Amino acid sequence: MKYLFVFLGGGFGSVLRYTISKYFNNFETSIPYGTLIVNILGSLLIGVLLGFSYKTNILSQNQTLFLAVGFCGGFTTFSTFAFENSELLKNGDYLSLALYLIGSIVLGVIAVFLGLSLIK
């Protein structure tokens, strides 16, 4: 049953990621803002969800699996992030590579801490 919750959450998260990424990656820019946005939002969301779950114990294990592991896991995307960075490197766009790579990691970690802090 736990696998079903992860599967369903992942499906919903993936569809939402695709929708947001498709919209924001259509702009003429070398930085893939769609992927950046979903990864930062997903980081914030997992911080809020896990912070809420740890603080209140209101979410069941299955709800946490559905939301944090499934939805957030399907919503965010490390593989696309890695591919987009390799494309920027291959194209010699070192400034965009540095901004996207460092910005994604730093903003992602900050977003998790912000999400956790919002719940405290």
**Residue-range definition of the domain harbouring residue 7:** 2-119
Compute the distance between CA of residue 29 and CA of residue 31 in angstroms, rounded to an integer: 6
How does pLDDT run across 69-78, given as a tens digit for each residue? 999 999 999 9
Give how far the C-alpha of residue 25 lies from the chain's centroid of Cα atoms, to the nearest Å: 15
Total count of domains within the chain = 1
Provide the percentage of residues in the chain whose pLDDT is more than 90.
89
pLDDT, average across residues 91-119:
96
- Greatest alpha-carbon span in the chain: 49
DSSP 55-90: HH--S-HHHHIIIIIIIIHHHS-HHHHHHHHHHHHH
- Contact at 8 Å (CB) between 76 and 17? yes
Q: Give the pLDDT score at 16.
A: 97
